[in-house]
């Protein structure tokens, strides 16, 4: 499946640069995660500036008015991933309390594995956060909208980011596989 750049982006040096001032993001096809019981999103990114507190590194879900619903996401200013069957009030999180601002070539791996009851966030191949009490099924994620560099919430900010590579896996990568990709 191919993504699009509705507001543009700049390719150079093997990376895609997305600029906040132009509200640039990657738009992936709807339902890219359909039929998955678990998923791993892995990427290498450079965050050249201070990240806004309200932004999504990636978001796969739906919208109800100005709010995101039925989604998974990564919030890079706090190093947090979540899944919800509703909106922010129902999020189940794995929170590393780590700001990705000013990080160069940061390897971020988000594992969403509700069948095994957990979410796990890795940075540079090392476990940064885990929630082992997840009860929201992945079937609750309704990925009508699939974004890299954009939030499902209309009031959230865009940010500058350079993406080296993005991978989406059907299933949960193991810690050894994550360390090997690092």
Question: Which of the residue ranges 23-27, 32-36, 84-88 would you say has the lowest mean pLDDT?
Answer: 32-36
| pLDDT tens string 64-121 | 999 999 999 999 999 999 999 999 999 999 999 999 999 999 999 999 999 999 999 9
d(CA 178, CA 45): 16
With a pLDDT cut of 90, the percent of the chain lying above it is 98
Nearest residue to 44 (alpha-carbon basis) of 105, 3, 100, 98: 105
Give pTM, 2 decimals: 0.97
- Phi, psi (rounded to 5 degrees) for 120: -140, 135
């Amino acid at each position: 499946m191919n993504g699009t750049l509705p507001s543009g982006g700049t390719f150079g040096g093997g990376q895609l640069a997305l600029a906040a001032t132009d509200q640039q993001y990657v738009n992936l096809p709807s339902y890219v995660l359909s039929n998955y019981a678990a998923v791993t999103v892995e990427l290498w990114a450079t965050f050249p500036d201070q990240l806004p507190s309200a932004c999504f590194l990636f978001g796969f879900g739906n919208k109800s008015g100005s709010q995101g619903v039925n989604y998974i996401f990564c919030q890079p200013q706090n190093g947090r991933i979540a899944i919800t069957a509703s909106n922010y009030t129902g999020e189940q999180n794995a929170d590393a309390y780590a700001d990705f601002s000013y990080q160069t070539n940061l390897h971020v791996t988000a594992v969403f594995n509700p069948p095994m009851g957990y979410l796990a966030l890795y940075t540079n191949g090392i476990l940064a956060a885990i929630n082992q009490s997840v009860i929201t099924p992945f079937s609750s994620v309704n990925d009508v909208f699939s974004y890299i560099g954009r939030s499902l919430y209309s009031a959230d900010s865009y940010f500058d980011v350079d993406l080296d590579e993005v991978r989406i896996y059907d299933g949960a990568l193991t810690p050894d596989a994550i360390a090997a990709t690092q």
